[in-house]
A and B are shown apart, each in its own frame.
Chain A
Amino acid sequence: MKNLPKNIFSGFVVSLIALPLGLGLALASEAPPISGVIAAIAGGVMVAILGGSNVTIAGPGNGLVIVLLGAITTLGAGDFYQGYLYTLAAIILSGVLLLLLGFLKMGQLADFFPATAIQGMLAAIGLGILAKQFHVMIGNNDAGGSIMELLLKIPEGLWALFNEPNPESLFAAGIGFMSLIILMFYARVRNTIVQSVPAPMWILILTIALSYGYTAVQVAYPLGDLFLISLPDNIIDSWAMPDFGAWQKEEFLLAVIAITLIASIESLLSIKAIDKLDPLSRRSNVNKDLKALGLATIFSGILGGLNVVTVIARSSVNVNNGATNRSSNFFHALFLVLFILLFQAQLKRIPLAALAAILVYTGYKLATPDLFRRIAQVGKEQLVIFLATLLTTLLTNLITGIAFGILITFMIHIIINRNLGLFLNHLSKPNILVYQEADTGNYYVSIKHFCSFLNFYKLKNKLDAIPEHEEVVLDFSMCRFVDHTAMEGLEHYTGAFQKKGGHVEIIGLDIHEADSVHPFAIRKILPLAALKPIEKYFTKRQQGLETVALDYHWEYLPEHNEDIDYLQDFVFFRSKEISYSYNHLVGEAKHCKVLDIEFAEGKLIAKEVVKTSAMYLELEQELPVFTLDKEGLLQWLYGLAGFADIEISNHPDFNRRFYLLGENSEAIKALFADELVLFLESHPYYHIESNGKGLLIMKKDRILGVQEIKRMIYFGLQLRQFLFASEGDGIPKNT
């Protein structure tokens, strides 16, 4: 309750954007302008009451413009109003489908689409909006044709504007360009009064004021009714009745499917993105939200409005203005009702060109050159997927476009791996193992085979079931291929866990090959021979290690190194064949080293390749050779000749918990005096080995995460200090 004023305020600010956008998006779809506002009101009310998200705003979405425009044009066969009535019926049916998706718990639907293909589709939608509205913005309301044709006609339109001047068009174009300039430079104006009203609302206010200015000086306003928006005088009388007459037409069914598909994708992506912004870090119930959106769409359709989706831009404005719960969505609807009722006369003075400018800007933001550059940075193959989806969508339609995007993504994955079987054989298998490690309580997640958009939902389901304050280790070492969609999706979890005090660490990707330096680039496991460039393409873990090195003023050497003789005489490695070490942290004049080691156990068929992280400390004085182990790491040692289990007197608890082995039991007993035993008992367990000249410290028989590495370094340095700090006369303490 005490947050109510905040939510009323943010609802008000959002309504200032929702009004021009609602009118504009409806116009861009060739529907009556009021239908966009009806959708926003229906969405605001229904989703606020029944929704499962917290700070999202629902209303007409820009992703839908192209689908709705297509439906209205084809179903109406030239008669836009009749097409609109048929489309209303399609909208109602798509609302029913959305409701159904919610009940079937299909909130994961958006996860099945490759991230880049979706971006390609959105860019195509952006270009589609821009192509049509650019003509309206320069005062040409009648331009028609496909998206490509419209885009190509832009230079021609500009030429015509200045060479065959028409006063009305020129005036409209002037307003259009001015509006565009306002939108482009709004963010740079550092003035609190200017910034207190969103840019689209400024355009409305200024253009309405302009027309009143003309009236005041008693000069005829240069724009006729054709260049201004038309609103019904009486909303009740002009209520548009949905027409189900076209239900058996193929185009109608396709429209229902397309609307449902795009509406659910846009909503689900927006909800996911807004959850990241939620100041209270809540998790939205997407299925509940889908149901609410479905119901809102049904109501909106019945009332003559467009369909309702969760919209990202308005939602983020909502969060930025201090919204804390769903009531702001409701207030945004309420203010819209007030605007329509109180300012009807003023709204009718809005020039189409001004709204078109807002839409041109919206469309441009979906397909900026920067977006192309960012995608190219992830990898060349992503650019191919993006452009293929974009062009197919522009040349055909959205459904074909996204289908082609999925197909080409899959083809590229097959080509990159030169392996179709990898995907076909393992697609239906559960490939994720999750368990809580008994000693630390960490969640350990192992992913097998491959992880791409095809099966990322499986990993997602498992991760969703882990409380975000926990520590999670994601091990990809048994996974041969990870795609961009999965990497980007995991980034979302890393953020979500971090916000709630948990931690997600990805391990086992350091030896995967990447095509670019981008953190979300595709990664594929690579053979040893090709391992050279690992230092070029750092994973997050490697970047983390680099930071750790900086903290300690150590050196970080990621390259693989086959000079590992100093490790070979540790008992642990006696029966093992070390292939190489990599990801070294080297410090204190090379006396301290932390490294990842790959080694093989057994021979030939029985050979198993294992990777582990270890710390190596070079000793200044000799220590007896010993091995201290709890369990797991060194079970097979008991059979080794000459090694006896050494019992330390007076410490039955220590003897029970640890297995201390070595040849020279007298010297070892002398070393393990009370204080060292106490030190070891009171610290987390590590496997510790001495080969006389050096100490080897290990935690687990897998690669450790950055946090775990830090803890190991801390422990190792403390242990060394404890062993040698005392008198400084070269004799280990307590001997």
Chain B
Amino acid sequence: MSSLPRPFKKLLFGFAFSPTLEDNLHEATRLAYYFNATLILLHVGEKTKEKTNSLQKLLAKIEFSDVPITIRWEQGKPEHVILQNCSNLEVDLLILGAIQHENLYQFYVGTLARKLTRKVGCSVLLLIKPSVVRVRCQHIVVNGLDAPETPVAITDAFYMAYALGAQQITIVEEIRPEEVQVTVEDDQSLKKATRMKAELKSREDLRVSQILGEIPAILRTGVRVKMQSIFGKRGYSIGHYAEVVRADLLVMNAPHEPTIWDRIFPHDIEYILSDLPTDLLIVRKQF
């Protein structure tokens, strides 16, 4: 029997005293419980009596009291402090609360969560709908891009399904329309393009099934796996798909370091971040 991988042993939740703090704390501890992991709560700001009190009050309400929790108070620029802690403490997963629909202004300036998403060295989980009461995770959508990080993302998706008890994983192969090297102009080119798409689809399906073969059997049991190929803009169509099928979690490869160019002409993950359809796990490869 293959051994159970545990990608997320140390979680870090960077928090601020916002109205959603209670919900977020519940979610973070719940995740730590399911992952059998330790949880670090990090607040960037002054440690005051009131803050400590209100945090303790909130923590007292948490249902999973046996989760090992460390609380850290540090001063500095939030972005910088969180990044430092993630690398110094060898955190596996950074958990952040996110805003579901960013407006245009935020999209170009970037919120803290978005900045961290790009710079941090570990995987990031963005929560858009934290809840005090557990909302069961049913359906996970994961990307099946042809990229070196994809097998890790898919394995992590299976791990999430295993840990959270989700019953369905859909692997979405986003095929860029440019790969269909035919412009549909008339009946002949349409036929050609349709044939080409079928070929691309079976090629992608084959590639993804090979990745699936590598997934430890223990993670695969009890999960229905579906493959869906979509011809569309990378990063965008998977988000739209997750919204259409009402997935609970979307798992994506981490983006490469973006330039200002990417902000002006958004691509891949930028679309999802600007219009988060579900909770989002961004997987960064670490070995």
Interface residues of A (CB under 8 A from B): 52, 105, 107, 282-288, 421, 424-425, 429-435, 438, 444, 446, 448, 464-465, 467, 475, 478, 601-606, 608, 610, 631-632, 635-636, 638-639, 701
| Chain B, residue nearest A465 (CB) | B184
The segment from B117-125, B211-219, B238-246 found at the interface with A is B238-246
9 new A-B pairs (CB below 8 Å) besides A432-B232, A435-B231, A638-B167? A105-B183, A283-B190, A287-B185, A425-B103, A430-B236, A433-B237, A433-B244, A631-B224, A636-B167
Q: What CA separation (Å) do A268 and B275 show in the bound complex?
A: 36
Q: Is B194 an interface residue (CB 8 A)?
A: yes
Inter-subunit contact A430/B168 (CB<8 Å):
no
- Name 17 interchain pairs, CB-CB below 8 A, sorted by A: A105-B185, A107-B185, A283-B190, A285-B185, A286-B185, A431-B240, A433-B244, A435-B230, A435-B231, A438-B227, A465-B184, A467-B191, A606-B129, A635-B138, A635-B168, A636-B136, A639-B165
Q: What CA separation (Å) do A308 and B190 show in the bound complex?
A: 28
Inter-subunit contact B104/A424 (CB<8 Å):
yes
Contact of B271 among A429, A604, A635 (CB under 8 A): A429
| Chain A, residue nearest B239 (CB) | A433
Q: Is B229 an interface residue (CB 8 A)?
A: yes
Q: How far, in Å, is A701 (CB) from chain B's closest CB?
A: 7
Inter-subunit contact B187/A282 (CB<8 Å):
yes
Q: How far, in Å, is A667 (CB) from chain B's closest CB?
A: 27
List chain B residues, Cβ under 8 A from A421: 103-104
Q: What CA separation (Å) do A446 and B186 show in the bound complex?
A: 24
Inter-subunit contact B168/A632 (CB<8 Å):
yes
Q: What CA separation (Å) do A444 and B241 show in the bound complex?
A: 11
Q: How far, in Å, is A420 (CB) from chain B's closest CB?
A: 11
Q: How far, in Å, is B27 (CB) from chain A's closest CB?
A: 11
Binary contact readout B175-192 vs A (1 if CB under 8 angstroms, 0 otherwise): 000000001111101110
Q: How far, in Å, is B240 (CB) from chain A's closest CB?
A: 4
Q: Which of A429, A433, A603 has the most CB of B within 10 A?
A: A433
Q: What CA separation (Å) do A602 and B138 show in the bound complex?
A: 13
List chain B residues, Cβ under 8 A from A430: 232-233, 236-237, 271
Inter-subunit contact A52/B129 (CB<8 Å):
no
Inter-subunit contact A636/B138 (CB<8 Å):
yes
List chain B residues, Cβ under 8 A from A602: 131, 135
Binary contact readout B62-84 vs A (1 if CB under 8 angstroms, 0 otherwise): 00000000000000000000000
| Known contacts A285-B185, A638-B167, A608 near B103 by CB under 8 Å | no
| Chain B, residue nearest A639 (CB) | B136
List chain B residues, Cβ under 8 A from A444: 244
List chain A residues, Cβ under 8 A from B168: 631-632, 635
Inter-subunit contact A429/B236 (CB<8 Å):
yes
Inter-subunit contact B241/A433 (CB<8 Å):
yes
List chain A residues, Cβ under 8 A from B189: 285
Q: How far, in Å, is A430 (CB) from chain B's closest CB?
A: 4
Inter-subunit contact A284/B229 (CB<8 Å):
no
List chain A residues, Cβ under 8 A from B231: 434-435, 465
Inter-subunit contact B228/A435 (CB<8 Å):
yes
Q: Is B256 an interface residue (CB 8 A)?
A: no
Inter-subunit contact B135/A434 (CB<8 Å):
no
- Residues of B90-105 whose CB lies within 8 A of A: 103-104
| Known contacts A105-B183, A424-B104, A478-B243, A434 near B232 by CB under 8 Å | yes
Inter-subunit contact B224/A52 (CB<8 Å):
no
- Chain B contact residues: helix, strand, loop or mixed: mixed
Q: Is B30 an interface residue (CB 8 A)?
A: no
- Residues of B214-270 whose CB lies within 8 A of A: 224, 226-233, 236-237, 240-241, 243-244, 246
Q: What CA separation (Å) do A639 and B167 show in the bound complex?
A: 11
Q: What CA separation (Å) do A423 and B254 show in the bound complex?
A: 29
Inter-subunit contact A448/B185 (CB<8 Å):
no
Q: How far, in Å, is A476 (CB) from chain B's closest CB?
A: 12
List chain A residues, Cβ under 8 A from B230: 433-435
List chain B residues, Cβ under 8 A from A286: 185
Contact of A605 among B129, B167, B184, B246 (CB under 8 A): B129
Q: What CA separation (Å) do A287 and B241 show in the bound complex?
A: 32
Q: Is B193 an interface residue (CB 8 A)?
A: yes
Q: Is B284 an interface residue (CB 8 A)?
A: no
Q: Is B139 an interface residue (CB 8 A)?
A: yes
List chain B residues, Cβ under 8 A from A638: 167
| Chain A, residue nearest B224 (CB) | A631
Q: How far, in Å, is B12 (CB) from chain A's closest CB?
A: 23
List chain B residues, Cβ under 8 A from A287: 185
Inter-subunit contact A425/B104 (CB<8 Å):
yes
Q: How far, in Å, is A653 (CB) from chain B's closest CB?
A: 17
Inter-subunit contact B186/A433 (CB<8 Å):
no
List chain A residues, Cβ under 8 A from B232: 430, 432-434
Q: How far, in Å, is B264 (CB) from chain A's closest CB?
A: 10
Q: How far, in Å, is B111 (CB) from chain A's closest CB?
A: 16
List chain A residues, Cβ under 8 A from B229: 435
Q: What CA separation (Å) do A27 and B202 show in the bound complex?
A: 61
List chain B residues, Cβ under 8 A from A635: 138-139, 167-168
Q: Which of B184, B189, B226 has the most CB of A within 10 A?
A: B184
| Chain B, residue nearest A437 (CB) | B228
List chain A residues, Cβ under 8 A from B241: 433, 435
Q: How far, in Å, is A661 (CB) from chain B's closest CB?
A: 13
| Chain A, residue nearest B104 (CB) | A425
Q: What CA separation (Å) do A446 and B271 show in the bound complex?
A: 17
Inter-subunit contact A52/B228 (CB<8 Å):
no
Q: What CA separation (Å) do A425 and B190 show in the bound complex?
A: 32
Q: How far, in Å, is B173 (CB) from chain A's closest CB?
A: 10
| Chain A, residue nearest B244 (CB) | A446
List chain B residues, Cβ under 8 A from A433: 230, 232, 237, 240-241, 244
Q: What CA separation (Å) do A501 and B233 show in the bound complex?
A: 29
Contact of A465 among B129, B133, B190 (CB under 8 A): B190
| Chain B, residue nearest A604 (CB) | B131
Binary contact readout B100-116 vs A (1 if CB under 8 angstroms, 0 otherwise): 00011000000000000
Inter-subunit contact B186/A282 (CB<8 Å):
yes
Binary contact readout B122-157 vs A (1 if CB under 8 angstroms, 0 otherwise): 000000011101011011000000000000000000
List chain A residues, Cβ under 8 A from B167: 635-636, 638
Q: What CA separation (Å) do A434 and B23 show in the bound complex?
A: 35
List chain B residues, Cβ under 8 A from A467: 190-191, 194
Q: What CA separation (Å) do A434 and B193 show in the bound complex?
A: 15
Inter-subunit contact B233/A608 (CB<8 Å):
no
Contact of A701 among B103, B135, B246 (CB under 8 A): B246
List chain A residues, Cβ under 8 A from B165: 639
Q: What CA separation (Å) do A478 and B186 show in the bound complex?
A: 31
| Known contacts A438-B228, A446-B244, A285 near B103 by CB under 8 Å | no
List chain B residues, Cβ under 8 A from A632: 168
| Chain A, residue nearest B185 (CB) | A285
List chain B residues, Cβ under 8 A from A603: 133
Closest 10 CB pairs of A and B: A433-B240, A285-B186, A430-B233, A635-B167, A285-B185, A606-B129, A435-B230, A430-B236, A465-B184, A283-B186
Q: What CA separation (Å) do A430 and B133 show in the bound complex?
A: 35
Binary contact readout B11-48 vs A (1 if CB under 8 angstroms, 0 otherwise): 00000000000010000000000000000000000000
Inter-subunit contact B246/A608 (CB<8 Å):
yes
List chain A residues, Cβ under 8 A from B274: 429
List chain B residues, Cβ under 8 A from A636: 136, 138, 167
Inter-subunit contact A429/B186 (CB<8 Å):
no
| Chain A, residue nearest B23 (CB) | A605
Inter-subunit contact B129/A429 (CB<8 Å):
no
Inter-subunit contact A52/B246 (CB<8 Å):
no
List chain B residues, Cβ under 8 A from A608: 246
Inter-subunit contact A52/B186 (CB<8 Å):
yes
Q: What CA separation (Å) do A639 and B183 show in the bound complex?
A: 49
| Known contacts A438-B228, A635-B139, A636-B138, A52 near B185 by CB under 8 Å | yes
Q: What CA separation (Å) do A697 and B2 show in the bound complex?
A: 41
| Chain A, residue nearest B275 (CB) | A429
| Chain A, residue nearest B222 (CB) | A638
Q: How far, in Å, is B261 (CB) from chain A's closest CB?
A: 15
